[in-house]
Amino acid sequence: MTRIESTFETLKAQNKKALIPYVMAGDPSPNSFVDLLHGLVKHGADMIEVGLPFSDPMADGPTVALAGERALAGGTSTHQALAMVKKFREQDSSTPIILMGYLNPIEIIGYEAFIALCHESGVDGVLVVDLPPAESGNFVERLAAHDINKIFLLSPTTLPERRKQVMTHCGGYIYYVSLKGVTGSASLDTQAVGEQVQAIKQETNLPICVGFGIRDGQSAAAIGQYADGVIVGSELVKNFSGLSHTSRAEDIATAQANIMTKMDELRQALDALSA
């Protein structure tokens, strides 16, 4: 059983919903990132999605795209992002870490070398936005051999054939994109999301986690009524806007404190569902 699978099993036994924050590796500074990860855990993260900086992030809205630009400007590469995860693992051996990124950097490193780096660094899941199941070859099996889950996306526009492929190849959890658009989009129809999540649950036993458009305790709780977990990215990442790897440590600390306040709000809202 992978760390992701074990975490969801524990949460289910406790009747709790997973809170999964997304942050960009190295944003705004490589020196502050590992502390950020530990802070997220202290403030209620059940697992963490770590973005891999990439120059052409097609699924990301302006907030996350700019986070990637800040990280790249600060010198964060895929190798360095994995080194940060490895550093995090020195003190935390239980919180699942899921990498979220794009195929190009993986192909440059090489599939086998990338998988080996993930295993060595303590990565638990990989979500490659532009690698659909039909094109993934034996990547899923090669990851599974190292106890790493391959996460896939479903959206309101996913065709039935693609949906079936996702459910066949996906592991850990299914990432359901709540709306048509990019990360950080404003509109969120919780009733429509609920109907879609309930329909997906009829076809798979995998946990369903919902991302895109969740920005506060109210929206997290509304989605948490249906989903097994919520993923929150842009609402957290936006606190680093205007900062960089050259910013004062005090300014970065203030931004991180604001993120933790939002994490507390989200955690309390989700926990209230099982109270």
Catalytic residues: 49, 60
Q: Which residues contact 141 (CB under 8 A, 6 or more apart)?
A: none
Tokens for 168?
């066949």
Return the ∠ at Cα 129 (arms to 125 and 133), rounded to 5°.
Answer: 80
**If DSSP codes are grouped into helix, strand and coil, which group holds residue 16?**
coil
Phi, psi dihedrals of residue 101, rounded to the nearest 5°: -165, -150
DSSP per-residue codes, 208-273:
EEEESS--SHHHHHHHHTTSSEEEE-HHHHGGGTT--TTS-HHHHHHHHHHHHHHHHHHHHHHHHT
Amino acid making up residue 117: L
Which strand (E) or helix (H) includes residue 51?
strand 48-51
